[in-house]
Amino acid sequence: MMADKGNNNKPSQWHEIETLLGSKLPALPTSKQMDLLKDTSWIEGYVQNILEKTMPKQEVKKSVRSKAEVFETHYHVIVKTPISYENNPAVKVRTDLIKIEEMLDNKKHQLIRLPCLVIPSTARATYKEGILQIKIRKKKLNKAYREVSIRYI
């Protein structure tokens, strides 16, 4: 009986809220409409479509998946990768990454992540029988502590 009394109060409460807001509220969704709302698989496609429309189209350089072998010794990191001599490669080194650009096809480059930090200015590259080898000195970690003065305010 109490459940019936509660249901009888809902329409009047709904009407009171509509009166308070000064406009008619939409009808509650049916169970069939609720079932449609449970399937959210369409959201991913919608978001992807919006992103494609808003993001400017750019010609992205092709990044070749690295076939490089990376070795570490006590003091050096050595990278060996097969590359064609005709492509006239350019090697660029930073502390954590090597970028090999093929000059013949300037839209291709190869990125090789290094296992530790290196000193880029120490990099040396050699080419022999289709293999490009790059040797770079590791950056030493300074394990000594440095005392910092404290300013009391």
Domain ranges of the chain: 62-137
Average pLDDT value for the chain: 80
Q: What is the mean pLDDT of residues 97-116?
A: 83
What kind of architecture, by CATH, is found in domain 62-137?
Sandwich (2.60)
Q: What pairs with residue 147 in β-bridges?
A: none
pTM of this structure:
0.52
For residues 116-135, b (16+ Cβ closer than 10 Å) or e, as one string?
A: eebebeebebeeeeeebebb
Q: Which residue has the higher pLDDT, 65 or 25?
A: 25
pLDDT tens figures, 35-48:
777 777 777 788 88
Is the Cα dihedral 74, 75, 79, 85 positive or negative?
A: negative
Task: Compute the distance between CA of residue 50 and CA of residue 63 in angstroms, rounded to an integer.
Answer: 26
Grade residue 65 by pLDDT with cuts at 50, 70 and 90.
Answer: low
